[in-house]
Structure 1
Amino acid sequence: MRYIFLLIIAFLSMITQSKGQIPFIRHLVNSGFYEEAIFVIGNDKTDYSAQQLDSINYYKGWAHYSLKNLKESSSSFLKVNDTSPFYNKSFFFAGYNHTYLGNYSEARSILDRIDSGEESILGLYNFELSGIEMLSGNWPEAKQYLDLVPEKNAVLNKQVLALNEIWKEHEQHRKKSPVAAGIMSAIIPGSGKIYAGKTGAGIASMIGNIGFGLITWENYRKSGLADVKTILFGSIFAVNYVSNIYGSVVSVKVIENEYENAIHNQILFQLHIPLRNFFE
Protein backbone atom coordinates (compact mmCIF):
# COMPACT_ATOMS: atom_id res chain seq x y z
CA MET A 1 0.00 0.00 0.00
CA ARG A 2 2.81 2.39 0.86
CA TYR A 3 4.48 1.77 -2.51
CA ILE A 4 1.25 2.67 -4.33
CA PHE A 5 1.06 5.85 -2.27
CA LEU A 6 4.65 6.71 -3.18
CA LEU A 7 3.86 6.22 -6.88
CA ILE A 8 0.90 8.58 -6.55
CA ILE A 9 3.14 11.11 -4.84
CA ALA A 10 5.74 10.77 -7.60
CA PHE A 11 3.04 11.37 -10.22
CA LEU A 12 1.76 14.45 -8.40
CA SER A 13 5.32 15.68 -8.11
CA MET A 14 5.83 15.47 -11.86
CA ILE A 15 2.66 17.29 -12.80
CA THR A 16 3.30 20.12 -10.31
CA GLN A 17 7.03 20.33 -10.93
CA SER A 18 6.88 23.75 -12.55
CA LYS A 19 5.20 25.24 -9.48
CA GLY A 20 7.63 23.77 -6.99
CA GLN A 21 7.01 21.23 -4.28
CA ILE A 22 7.40 23.28 -1.09
CA PRO A 23 3.66 23.59 -0.25
CA PHE A 24 3.19 19.88 -0.95
CA ILE A 25 6.26 18.94 1.12
CA ARG A 26 5.11 21.16 3.97
CA HIS A 27 1.68 19.50 3.86
CA LEU A 28 3.24 16.03 3.98
CA VAL A 29 5.44 16.93 6.94
CA ASN A 30 2.64 18.65 8.85
CA SER A 31 0.40 15.62 8.21
CA GLY A 32 2.98 13.18 9.54
CA PHE A 33 3.93 11.63 6.18
CA TYR A 34 7.64 11.95 6.87
CA GLU A 35 8.95 9.15 4.67
CA GLU A 36 6.80 10.42 1.81
CA ALA A 37 8.13 13.96 2.28
CA ILE A 38 11.72 12.68 2.14
CA PHE A 39 10.83 10.72 -1.01
CA VAL A 40 9.41 13.81 -2.70
CA ILE A 41 12.40 15.94 -1.73
CA GLY A 42 14.79 13.29 -3.06
CA ASN A 43 13.01 13.22 -6.41
CA ASP A 44 12.37 16.95 -6.72
CA LYS A 45 14.37 18.48 -9.61
CA THR A 46 13.01 22.01 -9.23
CA ASP A 47 15.60 24.78 -9.46
CA TYR A 48 14.94 26.49 -6.14
CA SER A 49 16.29 29.78 -4.86
CA ALA A 50 18.59 29.84 -1.83
CA GLN A 51 15.70 30.89 0.42
CA GLN A 52 13.51 28.07 -0.89
CA LEU A 53 16.33 25.57 -0.38
CA ASP A 54 16.44 26.64 3.26
CA SER A 55 12.80 25.64 3.59
CA ILE A 56 13.44 22.32 1.82
CA ASN A 57 16.37 21.53 4.12
CA TYR A 58 14.32 22.48 7.16
CA TYR A 59 11.42 20.21 6.19
CA LYS A 60 13.80 17.38 5.32
CA GLY A 61 15.55 17.83 8.67
CA TRP A 62 12.23 17.81 10.51
CA ALA A 63 11.03 14.70 8.66
CA HIS A 64 14.24 12.83 9.56
CA TYR A 65 14.02 14.11 13.14
CA SER A 66 10.47 12.80 13.46
CA LEU A 67 11.66 9.42 12.17
CA LYS A 68 14.54 9.48 14.70
CA ASN A 69 17.15 9.59 11.94
CA LEU A 70 19.14 12.08 13.98
CA LYS A 71 22.36 12.17 11.93
CA GLU A 72 20.45 12.78 8.69
CA SER A 73 18.26 15.31 10.49
CA SER A 74 21.24 17.31 11.71
CA SER A 75 22.87 17.18 8.28
CA SER A 76 19.79 18.81 6.73
CA PHE A 77 19.20 21.30 9.54
CA LEU A 78 22.78 22.56 9.32
CA LYS A 79 22.31 23.48 5.66
CA VAL A 80 19.77 26.14 6.63
CA ASN A 81 21.26 29.62 6.27
CA ASP A 82 21.14 32.30 8.96
CA THR A 83 18.83 34.46 6.79
CA SER A 84 16.07 31.85 7.04
CA PRO A 85 13.24 32.14 9.59
CA PHE A 86 13.94 28.46 10.29
CA TYR A 87 17.58 29.04 11.19
CA ASN A 88 17.42 29.15 14.99
CA LYS A 89 14.98 26.25 15.25
CA SER A 90 17.08 24.17 12.85
CA PHE A 91 20.31 24.77 14.74
CA PHE A 92 18.80 24.23 18.18
CA PHE A 93 17.39 20.89 17.06
CA ALA A 94 20.62 19.96 15.30
CA GLY A 95 22.42 20.69 18.56
CA TYR A 96 19.94 18.55 20.49
CA ASN A 97 20.36 15.71 18.00
CA HIS A 98 24.11 15.66 18.62
CA THR A 99 23.54 15.95 22.37
CA TYR A 100 21.25 12.92 22.24
CA LEU A 101 23.87 11.03 20.24
CA GLY A 102 26.54 11.89 22.81
CA ASN A 103 28.48 14.23 20.51
CA TYR A 104 28.74 16.98 23.11
CA SER A 105 31.59 18.97 21.51
CA GLU A 106 29.72 19.05 18.20
CA ALA A 107 26.53 20.10 19.98
CA ARG A 108 28.34 23.02 21.66
CA SER A 109 29.87 24.05 18.34
CA ILE A 110 26.45 24.09 16.66
CA LEU A 111 24.82 26.13 19.42
CA ASP A 112 27.68 28.65 19.28
CA ARG A 113 26.66 29.44 15.68
CA ILE A 114 23.24 30.65 16.81
CA ASP A 115 22.65 34.38 17.04
CA SER A 116 21.78 34.67 20.73
CA GLY A 117 21.31 38.43 20.77
CA GLU A 118 17.61 38.14 21.59
CA GLU A 119 17.00 37.59 25.32
CA SER A 120 14.70 34.60 24.89
CA ILE A 121 17.13 32.92 22.47
CA LEU A 122 20.01 33.61 24.87
CA GLY A 123 18.06 32.01 27.71
CA LEU A 124 17.39 28.90 25.65
CA TYR A 125 21.04 28.83 24.53
CA ASN A 126 22.31 28.91 28.13
CA PHE A 127 19.73 26.33 29.20
CA GLU A 128 20.76 23.86 26.49
CA LEU A 129 24.44 24.40 27.27
CA SER A 130 23.82 23.73 30.96
CA GLY A 131 22.33 20.35 30.08
CA ILE A 132 25.21 19.52 27.73
CA GLU A 133 27.70 20.31 30.49
CA MET A 134 25.81 18.07 32.91
CA LEU A 135 25.88 15.23 30.41
CA SER A 136 29.59 15.85 29.88
CA GLY A 137 30.21 15.61 33.63
CA ASN A 138 31.12 19.29 33.95
CA TRP A 139 28.71 20.05 36.78
CA PRO A 140 30.20 23.37 38.03
CA GLU A 141 30.09 24.79 34.47
CA ALA A 142 26.53 23.48 34.08
CA LYS A 143 25.42 25.41 37.15
CA GLN A 144 27.03 28.61 35.81
CA TYR A 145 25.06 28.37 32.55
CA LEU A 146 21.86 27.49 34.41
CA ASP A 147 22.20 30.57 36.62
CA LEU A 148 22.33 32.74 33.48
CA VAL A 149 18.81 31.73 32.41
CA PRO A 150 16.30 34.45 33.41
CA GLU A 151 14.02 33.29 36.23
CA LYS A 152 10.94 34.86 34.61
CA ASN A 153 11.29 32.96 31.33
CA ALA A 154 7.86 31.29 31.10
CA VAL A 155 8.96 28.68 28.54
CA LEU A 156 11.98 27.57 30.54
CA ASN A 157 10.88 28.08 34.13
CA LYS A 158 9.78 24.51 34.91
CA GLN A 159 12.72 22.95 33.11
CA VAL A 160 15.22 25.24 34.86
CA LEU A 161 13.77 24.13 38.19
CA ALA A 162 14.01 20.51 37.06
CA LEU A 163 17.67 20.84 36.03
CA ASN A 164 18.43 22.60 39.31
CA GLU A 165 16.92 19.64 41.18
CA ILE A 166 19.03 17.23 39.13
CA TRP A 167 22.10 19.33 39.91
CA LYS A 168 21.31 19.29 43.65
CA GLU A 169 20.68 15.55 43.58
CA HIS A 170 24.03 15.00 41.88
CA GLU A 171 25.80 17.13 44.47
CA GLN A 172 24.22 15.14 47.30
CA HIS A 173 24.82 11.75 45.69
CA ARG A 174 27.66 9.79 47.24
CA LYS A 175 29.02 7.40 44.67
CA LYS A 176 29.55 3.89 45.98
CA SER A 177 32.85 2.14 45.30
CA PRO A 178 32.92 -1.36 43.77
CA VAL A 179 36.37 -1.89 45.35
CA ALA A 180 35.02 -1.02 48.80
CA ALA A 181 32.09 -3.40 48.27
CA GLY A 182 34.49 -6.21 47.33
CA ILE A 183 36.73 -5.63 50.33
CA MET A 184 33.76 -5.48 52.71
CA SER A 185 32.38 -8.77 51.38
CA ALA A 186 35.81 -10.37 51.65
CA ILE A 187 35.95 -9.45 55.36
CA ILE A 188 32.27 -10.04 56.18
CA PRO A 189 30.44 -11.99 53.46
CA GLY A 190 27.30 -10.19 52.29
CA SER A 191 28.23 -6.81 53.77
CA GLY A 192 29.25 -5.50 50.33
CA LYS A 193 25.78 -6.19 48.95
CA ILE A 194 24.21 -4.49 51.96
CA TYR A 195 26.50 -1.52 51.27
CA ALA A 196 25.26 -1.56 47.65
CA GLY A 197 21.68 -1.34 48.87
CA LYS A 198 20.78 -5.00 48.31
CA THR A 199 20.04 -5.75 51.98
CA GLY A 200 18.04 -8.93 51.43
CA ALA A 201 20.62 -10.43 49.06
CA GLY A 202 23.39 -9.39 51.44
CA ILE A 203 21.78 -11.11 54.43
CA ALA A 204 21.09 -14.24 52.36
CA SER A 205 24.71 -14.31 51.18
CA MET A 206 25.95 -13.83 54.75
CA ILE A 207 23.80 -16.68 56.08
CA GLY A 208 24.82 -18.99 53.22
CA ASN A 209 28.54 -18.32 53.61
CA ILE A 210 28.45 -18.65 57.40
CA GLY A 211 26.40 -21.86 57.14
CA PHE A 212 28.70 -23.59 54.66
CA GLY A 213 31.73 -22.28 56.52
CA LEU A 214 30.53 -23.80 59.82
CA ILE A 215 29.64 -27.10 58.17
CA THR A 216 33.06 -27.25 56.52
CA TRP A 217 34.78 -26.49 59.80
CA GLU A 218 32.75 -29.10 61.68
CA ASN A 219 33.59 -31.83 59.13
CA TYR A 220 37.24 -30.81 59.13
CA ARG A 221 37.35 -30.96 62.94
CA LYS A 222 35.73 -34.41 63.06
CA SER A 223 37.06 -36.13 59.93
CA GLY A 224 40.05 -34.15 58.73
CA LEU A 225 40.92 -32.26 55.56
CA ALA A 226 40.88 -35.31 53.24
CA ASP A 227 37.33 -36.30 54.11
CA VAL A 228 34.89 -36.21 51.17
CA LYS A 229 32.33 -34.12 53.05
CA THR A 230 35.00 -31.64 54.10
CA ILE A 231 36.18 -31.27 50.51
CA LEU A 232 32.59 -31.02 49.19
CA PHE A 233 31.35 -28.42 51.67
CA GLY A 234 34.69 -26.62 51.55
CA SER A 235 34.36 -26.31 47.78
CA ILE A 236 30.81 -25.01 48.09
CA PHE A 237 31.94 -22.51 50.70
CA ALA A 238 34.84 -21.33 48.50
CA VAL A 239 32.57 -20.88 45.46
CA ASN A 240 29.99 -18.99 47.55
CA TYR A 241 32.67 -16.84 49.14
CA VAL A 242 34.20 -15.79 45.81
CA SER A 243 30.76 -15.34 44.23
CA ASN A 244 29.74 -13.15 47.16
CA ILE A 245 32.72 -10.84 46.56
CA TYR A 246 32.17 -10.72 42.80
CA GLY A 247 28.43 -10.19 43.23
CA SER A 248 29.01 -7.28 45.59
CA VAL A 249 31.32 -5.56 43.09
CA VAL A 250 28.85 -6.10 40.24
CA SER A 251 25.90 -4.91 42.36
CA VAL A 252 27.57 -1.57 43.03
CA LYS A 253 28.49 -1.13 39.37
CA VAL A 254 24.94 -1.93 38.25
CA ILE A 255 23.38 0.46 40.78
CA GLU A 256 25.73 3.29 39.82
CA ASN A 257 25.12 2.67 36.12
CA GLU A 258 21.37 2.70 36.68
CA TYR A 259 21.68 5.98 38.56
CA GLU A 260 23.80 7.55 35.81
CA ASN A 261 21.42 6.35 33.09
CA ALA A 262 18.41 7.71 34.96
CA ILE A 263 20.07 11.12 35.35
CA HIS A 264 21.18 11.06 31.71
CA ASN A 265 17.64 10.37 30.47
CA GLN A 266 16.12 12.98 32.77
CA ILE A 267 18.48 15.65 31.44
CA LEU A 268 17.75 14.77 27.80
CA PHE A 269 14.03 14.87 28.53
CA GLN A 270 14.25 18.32 30.14
CA LEU A 271 16.38 19.67 27.28
CA HIS A 272 13.84 18.52 24.72
CA ILE A 273 10.66 19.99 26.24
CA PRO A 274 11.44 23.72 25.82
CA LEU A 275 12.61 23.23 22.23
CA ARG A 276 9.19 21.95 21.24
CA ASN A 277 7.40 24.63 23.28
CA PHE A 278 9.64 27.51 22.20
CA PHE A 279 9.29 26.93 18.47
CA GLU A 280 5.60 25.95 18.30
Structure 2
Amino acid sequence: MSRYHTPAGGHPGQEQLLEDRAVFTEAYAVIPRRTMRDITTSRLPFWEETRLWIIARPMTGFSETFSHYLMEVAPGGGSDRPEVDAAAEAVIFVVGGALTLIIGDVPYEMEAGGYAYIPPDQPWTLRATGEAPAQFHWIRKAYEPVEGIEIPFPFVTTDADVTPQPMPGTEGRWATSRFVDPDDLRHDMHVTIVTLQPGGVIPFLETHVMEHGLFVLEGKGVYRLNRDWVEVEAGDYMWLRAFCPQACYAGGPGPFRYLLYKDVNRHARLF
Protein backbone atom coordinates (compact mmCIF):
# COMPACT_ATOMS: atom_id res chain seq x y z
CA MET A 1 0.00 0.00 0.00
CA SER A 2 1.41 3.35 -1.01
CA ARG A 3 1.91 6.09 1.53
CA TYR A 4 1.68 9.74 0.59
CA HIS A 5 3.72 12.48 2.24
CA THR A 6 1.77 15.18 4.09
CA PRO A 7 3.38 18.38 5.43
CA ALA A 8 3.69 18.83 9.17
CA GLY A 9 3.84 22.63 9.22
CA GLY A 10 5.07 24.12 12.47
CA HIS A 11 8.47 25.80 12.80
CA PRO A 12 12.01 24.44 13.19
CA GLY A 13 13.80 24.96 16.47
CA GLN A 14 16.18 27.85 16.98
CA GLU A 15 19.07 25.40 17.24
CA GLN A 16 18.56 24.12 13.68
CA LEU A 17 21.11 25.03 11.01
CA LEU A 18 19.96 27.37 8.25
CA GLU A 19 21.47 25.29 5.46
CA ASP A 20 18.96 23.45 3.29
CA ARG A 21 18.49 22.11 -0.25
CA ALA A 22 16.26 24.91 -1.61
CA VAL A 23 17.36 25.98 -5.10
CA PHE A 24 15.94 28.45 -7.62
CA THR A 25 17.70 28.70 -10.99
CA GLU A 26 16.92 29.90 -14.49
CA ALA A 27 15.86 26.36 -15.47
CA TYR A 28 14.41 24.70 -12.36
CA ALA A 29 13.50 25.12 -8.70
CA VAL A 30 13.63 22.69 -5.77
CA ILE A 31 11.38 23.40 -2.79
CA PRO A 32 12.35 21.00 0.03
CA ARG A 33 9.84 19.60 2.49
CA ARG A 34 11.45 21.59 5.34
CA THR A 35 10.34 24.89 3.76
CA MET A 36 6.63 24.02 4.10
CA ARG A 37 6.20 25.65 7.50
CA ASP A 38 3.45 27.74 9.07
CA ILE A 39 5.14 30.98 8.00
CA THR A 40 4.98 30.04 4.30
CA THR A 41 1.26 29.26 4.16
CA SER A 42 -1.36 31.29 2.29
CA ARG A 43 -5.14 31.78 2.49
CA LEU A 44 -7.77 31.86 -0.27
CA PRO A 45 -11.03 33.80 -0.73
CA PHE A 46 -14.19 31.82 0.10
CA TRP A 47 -12.30 28.95 1.78
CA GLU A 48 -13.06 28.32 5.45
CA GLU A 49 -10.68 26.74 7.99
CA THR A 50 -8.13 26.32 5.23
CA ARG A 51 -4.49 27.07 4.63
CA LEU A 52 -2.24 26.11 1.73
CA TRP A 53 1.27 26.12 0.39
CA ILE A 54 1.48 27.61 -3.12
CA ILE A 55 4.37 25.66 -4.59
CA ALA A 56 4.05 26.70 -8.24
CA ARG A 57 2.44 29.59 -10.08
CA PRO A 58 2.83 31.07 -13.57
CA MET A 59 5.90 33.29 -13.84
CA THR A 60 7.04 35.11 -16.97
CA GLY A 61 10.18 33.50 -18.36
CA PHE A 62 9.79 30.38 -16.21
CA SER A 63 6.99 27.82 -16.00
CA GLU A 64 3.93 29.58 -17.34
CA THR A 65 1.02 27.17 -17.69
CA PHE A 66 -0.09 26.07 -14.22
CA SER A 67 -0.34 26.56 -10.47
CA HIS A 68 0.07 23.88 -7.83
CA TYR A 69 -1.37 24.17 -4.31
CA LEU A 70 -0.85 21.85 -1.35
CA MET A 71 -4.07 22.27 0.63
CA GLU A 72 -4.85 21.64 4.31
CA VAL A 73 -8.52 21.90 5.33
CA ALA A 74 -9.56 21.49 8.97
CA PRO A 75 -12.51 19.18 9.78
CA GLY A 76 -15.73 20.86 8.66
CA GLY A 77 -13.84 23.42 6.60
CA GLY A 78 -13.87 23.82 2.85
CA SER A 79 -15.60 25.98 0.27
CA ASP A 80 -18.88 26.38 -1.57
CA ARG A 81 -17.11 28.66 -4.05
CA PRO A 82 -13.64 27.15 -4.43
CA GLU A 83 -12.70 28.39 -7.90
CA VAL A 84 -13.09 32.03 -8.95
CA ASP A 85 -11.73 31.62 -12.50
CA ALA A 86 -14.23 30.08 -14.93
CA ALA A 87 -11.41 29.19 -17.36
CA ALA A 88 -9.57 27.03 -14.80
CA GLU A 89 -9.61 23.24 -14.94
CA ALA A 90 -8.36 21.27 -11.95
CA VAL A 91 -6.98 18.02 -10.64
CA ILE A 92 -7.47 17.12 -6.98
CA PHE A 93 -5.25 14.40 -5.49
CA VAL A 94 -5.87 13.49 -1.85
CA VAL A 95 -2.90 12.57 0.36
CA GLY A 96 -4.44 12.63 3.84
CA GLY A 97 -7.76 12.74 5.71
CA ALA A 98 -11.18 12.53 4.09
CA LEU A 99 -13.38 14.93 2.13
CA THR A 100 -16.61 15.20 0.21
CA LEU A 101 -16.25 16.62 -3.29
CA ILE A 102 -19.48 17.60 -5.06
CA ILE A 103 -19.18 18.14 -8.82
CA GLY A 104 -22.41 19.61 -10.14
CA ASP A 105 -24.86 17.75 -7.92
CA VAL A 106 -22.92 14.46 -7.67
CA PRO A 107 -21.13 13.81 -4.33
CA TYR A 108 -17.90 11.82 -4.08
CA GLU A 109 -16.31 10.60 -0.86
CA MET A 110 -12.53 10.77 -1.19
CA GLU A 111 -9.63 9.58 0.96
CA ALA A 112 -5.87 9.27 0.47
CA GLY A 113 -5.17 8.20 -3.11
CA GLY A 114 -8.38 9.75 -4.45
CA TYR A 115 -8.06 11.57 -7.79
CA ALA A 116 -10.55 13.95 -9.43
CA TYR A 117 -10.54 15.89 -12.69
CA ILE A 118 -12.76 18.99 -12.84
CA PRO A 119 -13.25 20.74 -16.21
CA PRO A 120 -13.47 24.51 -16.63
CA ASP A 121 -16.66 26.42 -15.78
CA GLN A 122 -17.88 23.47 -13.69
CA PRO A 123 -19.53 24.17 -10.31
CA TRP A 124 -18.03 22.18 -7.45
CA THR A 125 -17.73 22.28 -3.68
CA LEU A 126 -15.46 20.61 -1.16
CA ARG A 127 -15.71 19.87 2.59
CA ALA A 128 -13.33 18.06 4.94
CA THR A 129 -15.32 15.28 6.60
CA GLY A 130 -12.86 13.32 8.72
CA GLU A 131 -11.56 13.83 12.24
CA ALA A 132 -8.16 14.97 10.90
CA PRO A 133 -7.46 17.71 8.35
CA ALA A 134 -7.98 16.85 4.70
CA GLN A 135 -4.76 17.33 2.76
CA PHE A 136 -4.69 17.33 -1.01
CA HIS A 137 -2.92 18.65 -4.08
CA TRP A 138 -4.87 21.09 -6.23
CA ILE A 139 -3.38 21.66 -9.68
CA ARG A 140 -4.97 24.41 -11.78
CA LYS A 141 -4.54 25.32 -15.43
CA ALA A 142 -6.34 27.67 -17.81
CA TYR A 143 -8.01 25.27 -20.24
CA GLU A 144 -7.11 25.79 -23.91
CA PRO A 145 -10.25 25.09 -25.98
CA VAL A 146 -9.95 23.94 -29.59
CA GLU A 147 -12.78 24.34 -32.09
CA GLY A 148 -14.24 20.93 -32.91
CA ILE A 149 -12.93 19.23 -29.75
CA GLU A 150 -15.29 19.01 -26.77
CA ILE A 151 -14.31 19.86 -23.21
CA PRO A 152 -13.54 16.78 -21.06
CA PHE A 153 -16.09 15.42 -18.63
CA PRO A 154 -15.37 15.36 -14.89
CA PHE A 155 -14.38 12.08 -13.31
CA VAL A 156 -13.24 10.68 -9.95
CA THR A 157 -11.05 7.61 -9.43
CA THR A 158 -8.24 6.42 -7.14
CA ASP A 159 -4.55 5.63 -7.41
CA ALA A 160 -5.34 2.04 -6.36
CA ASP A 161 -7.75 1.59 -9.28
CA VAL A 162 -5.25 2.62 -11.97
CA THR A 163 -2.71 0.01 -13.07
CA PRO A 164 0.79 1.47 -13.59
CA GLN A 165 1.96 1.06 -17.18
CA PRO A 166 5.61 -0.08 -17.42
CA MET A 167 7.89 1.82 -19.75
CA PRO A 168 9.09 -0.48 -22.57
CA GLY A 169 12.24 -2.42 -21.81
CA THR A 170 12.32 -1.61 -18.08
CA GLU A 171 10.83 -4.85 -16.70
CA GLY A 172 8.50 -2.76 -14.56
CA ARG A 173 11.24 -0.79 -12.81
CA TRP A 174 9.83 2.44 -14.29
CA ALA A 175 6.06 2.77 -14.65
CA THR A 176 3.43 5.50 -14.96
CA SER A 177 -0.09 5.57 -13.54
CA ARG A 178 -2.10 7.40 -16.21
CA PHE A 179 -5.47 8.74 -15.14
CA VAL A 180 -6.25 10.02 -18.66
CA ASP A 181 -5.77 8.25 -22.01
CA PRO A 182 -2.77 9.95 -23.70
CA ASP A 183 -4.64 9.82 -27.03
CA ASP A 184 -7.61 11.78 -25.65
CA LEU A 185 -7.04 15.21 -27.20
CA ARG A 186 -9.77 16.79 -25.12
CA HIS A 187 -7.23 16.99 -22.29
CA ASP A 188 -4.52 19.66 -22.43
CA MET A 189 -2.76 18.58 -19.23
CA HIS A 190 -1.79 15.26 -17.70
CA VAL A 191 -1.33 14.67 -13.98
CA THR A 192 0.15 11.23 -13.48
CA ILE A 193 2.06 9.24 -10.86
CA VAL A 194 5.50 7.99 -11.82
CA THR A 195 6.90 5.01 -9.90
CA LEU A 196 10.51 3.83 -9.99
CA GLN A 197 11.52 0.73 -8.06
CA PRO A 198 14.77 0.80 -6.06
CA GLY A 199 17.63 1.09 -8.54
CA GLY A 200 15.26 2.09 -11.34
CA VAL A 201 16.45 4.86 -13.61
CA ILE A 202 15.31 7.28 -16.29
CA PRO A 203 18.32 6.49 -18.46
CA PHE A 204 18.59 9.58 -20.64
CA LEU A 205 18.30 13.34 -20.23
CA GLU A 206 14.69 14.10 -21.19
CA THR A 207 14.65 17.48 -22.91
CA HIS A 208 11.21 18.54 -24.11
CA VAL A 209 8.67 21.32 -24.43
CA MET A 210 6.42 20.19 -21.56
CA GLU A 211 6.68 22.08 -18.28
CA HIS A 212 6.74 19.97 -15.13
CA GLY A 213 5.78 20.08 -11.51
CA LEU A 214 6.97 17.01 -9.55
CA PHE A 215 5.93 16.40 -5.95
CA VAL A 216 7.65 13.42 -4.32
CA LEU A 217 4.93 11.34 -2.70
CA GLU A 218 7.09 8.51 -1.39
CA GLY A 219 10.72 7.39 -1.17
CA LYS A 220 13.89 9.14 -2.26
CA GLY A 221 15.99 9.57 -5.38
CA VAL A 222 18.67 11.57 -7.14
CA TYR A 223 17.44 13.88 -9.91
CA ARG A 224 19.47 15.40 -12.72
CA LEU A 225 18.14 18.90 -13.33
CA ASN A 226 19.86 20.84 -16.10
CA ARG A 227 23.58 20.54 -15.10
CA ASP A 228 23.04 19.54 -11.46
CA TRP A 229 22.44 16.34 -9.48
CA VAL A 230 19.96 16.97 -6.64
CA GLU A 231 18.91 14.56 -3.89
CA VAL A 232 15.17 14.58 -3.22
CA GLU A 233 12.87 12.80 -0.77
CA ALA A 234 9.17 12.48 0.05
CA GLY A 235 7.70 15.96 0.47
CA ASP A 236 10.10 17.74 -1.87
CA TYR A 237 8.85 19.61 -4.93
CA MET A 238 10.57 20.25 -8.27
CA TRP A 239 9.46 22.84 -10.79
CA LEU A 240 10.95 22.50 -14.29
CA ARG A 241 10.93 25.00 -17.09
CA ALA A 242 10.31 23.79 -20.65
CA PHE A 243 13.37 22.08 -22.19
CA CYS A 244 15.14 21.65 -18.82
CA PRO A 245 17.19 18.42 -19.16
CA GLN A 246 16.07 15.84 -16.60
CA ALA A 247 16.72 12.25 -15.49
CA CYS A 248 16.81 10.36 -12.20
CA TYR A 249 17.83 7.31 -10.15
CA ALA A 250 15.58 5.78 -7.48
CA GLY A 251 17.45 5.51 -4.20
CA GLY A 252 15.48 2.85 -2.31
CA PRO A 253 14.91 1.04 -0.06
CA GLY A 254 11.27 1.37 -1.20
CA PRO A 255 9.60 2.73 -4.35
CA PHE A 256 10.26 6.31 -5.47
CA ARG A 257 6.91 7.87 -6.48
CA TYR A 258 6.02 11.37 -7.56
CA LEU A 259 2.96 13.26 -8.75
CA LEU A 260 3.78 14.76 -12.15
CA TYR A 261 2.15 17.65 -14.04
CA LYS A 262 2.77 18.39 -17.71
CA ASP A 263 1.03 20.40 -20.43
CA VAL A 264 0.13 18.38 -23.54
CA ASN A 265 -1.86 18.13 -26.80
CA ARG A 266 -1.85 21.76 -27.91
CA HIS A 267 -0.02 23.95 -30.42
CA ALA A 268 2.80 26.09 -29.10
CA ARG A 269 1.48 29.61 -28.62
CA LEU A 270 2.73 32.22 -31.08
CA PHE A 271 2.78 35.63 -29.43
The answer to whether TM tops 0.5 is no
Structure (1 or 2) with the greater strand fraction: 2
Structure (1 or 2) with the greater helix fraction: 1
Q: TM-score range by the shorter chain?
A: under 0.3
TM-score (norm 1): 0.25
TM-score (norm 2): 0.25
* Greater relative contact order structure (CA < 8 Å, 6+ sep): 2
